[in-house]
Amino acid sequence: MKAFELLRPASLEQALELLPKPADRERVRVVAGGQDLYTEMKDRLIEPDQLLDLKRLAGFDRLEIDGAGNVTLGALLTLSRVAEHAGLRASLPLVGEAALSIASTQIRNVGTVGGNLNQRPRCWYYRHPGAHCLKKGGSECFSKEGFNKYNAILGGGPSYIVHPSDLAPALVAAGAEVVLAKKGSSRTLPLEQYYTLPRDGDPLRETVLGSDEILTHVRIPAPAAGWKSTYLKFKERGSFDFALASVAAGLVVEAGVVRSARLVLGGVAPIPWRAKAAEEFLAGKPAQPATWREAAAIALSKAEPLSDNEYKVALSQNLIERAFTRLTT
């Protein structure tokens, strides 16, 4: 690992002063829990001169639920606290379930909300130091014609990464927004708009976070009356592994009829993939197995599997059916 200088600001204002100009964006990296960042540095995928440690910033690790049921999650809040918070699990089960599904207890004790939302792709070619792929400034996404068992089936091209976060699909399904601070101002945007497809922006990046910005916290609106939610994830092993496919689902059902639905897929696209066509189909339909099957088919109708990952289509469809069945039985 390249030697670096550790910067430890005592306030958000100090931290923002230390951020680099756009031309020097690779020189300074913000570190939260560091579980992903340090791995990239050890593999020399990135070699920053300075790390900006946020751990001394007051309030960055808070978890608050106000009287109306709105939730605030600080960027440095650990995944363990999210997974274990009784009030959050009662009102927004999918968020607690998503946090609990991440890695191992030891990693959840260190990993943070901000780090999980901003982690980099796990694609074998991106992580391999010897593969100069599109995500590292090369001209080709090697997974398209190479080893692609874990890559995207939705929204792919020119890069076929999948977004590795478990929290992100759950938070998108819950309607969360992120607050991004910069010197002298801040902006708030839906988490769904925070992520970018490789074909719509810079293929080297996954978010709209500016080099002069810090993600400070996440806000989740109080769920609607009668809203039930869950998060299901399929992985190759019981711990450590990232999702081969995951489903964040929420429903409001009245008198046996779906009044509203949210459906977001993980592990299958470069961003948390919101299945809007399936959501629209579900509204007004009877809450029954045939409805879940058709919604699952609609959600995956535009999938374009690569040579080794067609299994993700049926896997995702089955997870969708299981999620909605869980919410209505």
**What tokens does 254 get?**
């009245």
Q: Which residues contact 304 (CB under 8 A, 6 or more apart)?
A: 153, 154, 156
> Are residues 297 and 320 in contact, defined by beta-carbon separation less than 8 angstroms?
no
Q: Are 94 and 192 in contact (CB under 8 A)?
A: no
CA atoms of 311 and 133, how far apart (whole Å): 25
Please write the tens of the pLDDT for every residue from 11-31. 999 999 999 877 577 789 999
First to last CA, the chain: 52
3 state SS for 112-174: EHHHHHHCCCCCHHHHCCCCCCHHHCCCCCHHHCCCCCCCCCCCCCCCCCCCCCCHHHHHHHC
Helix (H, G, I), strand (E, B) or coil at 68: coil
Distances in Å between the Cα of 127 and the Cα atoms of 20, 95, 155, 269 are 25, 28, 21, 18
CA 128, 132, 135, 136 dihedral sign is positive
pLDDT at 238: 77
CA 193/CA 25 separation, integer angstroms: 21
* CATH number belonging to the domain at 228-327, selected among 3.40.50.720, 3.30.390.50, 3.40.50.970, 3.30.1490.190: 3.30.390.50
* Res 153: pLDDT: 98
Q: What is the pLDDT of residues 212-252, one digit of tens each?
A: 999 999 999 999 999 999 999 999 987 678 999 999 999 99
Distance CA 38, CA 107 (A): 13
- Which parts of the chain register pLDDT below 50? none
CA atoms within 13 A on the CB side of 266: 29
Spatial contact of 168 and 265, defined as CB atoms under 8 Å apart: no
Instruction: Tell me what pLDDT residue 23 has.
Output: 59
Gap between the Cα atoms of 164 and 131, Å rounded: 20
* Distant-in-sequence contacts of 20-24, Cβ < 8 A, 24+ apart: 20/211, 20/212, 21/211, 21/212, 22/210, 22/211, 22/212, 24/211
250 DSSP β-pair partners: 229, 262
Rounded to whole angstroms, the Cα distance separating 318 from 297 reads 10
> What pLDDT was estimated at residue 162?
98
What are the residue boundaries of the structural domains of the chain, listed by start?
228-327
